[in-house]
Amino acid sequence: MKPNQPFFAQLHFHHTHRPFAAPHAPAEELYDLETDPHEIHNLAATPDHRATLEKLRAALDRWMEETGDQGRTPESPEIDAKWGGYMREFWDSVEASRQGKGKVSVPWLRNWPASSPQTPKPSK
């Protein structure tokens, strides 16, 4: 193991598995489940699927408003502090991604130990 490289960056994956261990997640995902049932080829950024993506975005926005879903609301500073600032970094990256200025960061994966395939526990 290289000391200054995250665990997931040192793994060797088949190209179809790499997205699942990447430090960044796509801002949006869209799959054709009939032709791609294993969700390998993300179509969200393809021009041919723009109308479908916009329709689904609008449906999600409506649903979130109608149900009072808090998915767009970042955690409080107290909760974020318990997670070592990871939640703020995640939400900032989500916002940047929505604006086309970056990728969604999944910061807690940086410290995911090789010996334990678990989500890190919050700091005290």
Relative to beta strand 24-25, strand 104-105 is antiparallel
Q: 4 or 101: whose pLDDT is higher? A: 101
Tokens of 90: 């995640």
Question: What are 26-38's pLDDT values in tens digits?
Answer: 778 899 999 999 8
What pLDDT was estimated at residue 62?
Answer: 93
The per-residue pLDDT for range 38-86, each reduced to its tens digit, is 888 899 989 999 999 999 989 988 998 999 887 777 778 888 788 777 7
Helix (H, G, I), strand (E, B) or coil at 103: coil
Closest CA to 90 of 109, 64, 65: 109
pLDDT at 118 > cutoff 60: no
Average pLDDT over the chain reads 75
Helix (H, G, I), strand (E, B) or coil at 67: helix
pTM over 0.75: no
Rounded (5°) CA angle 73-42-83: 35
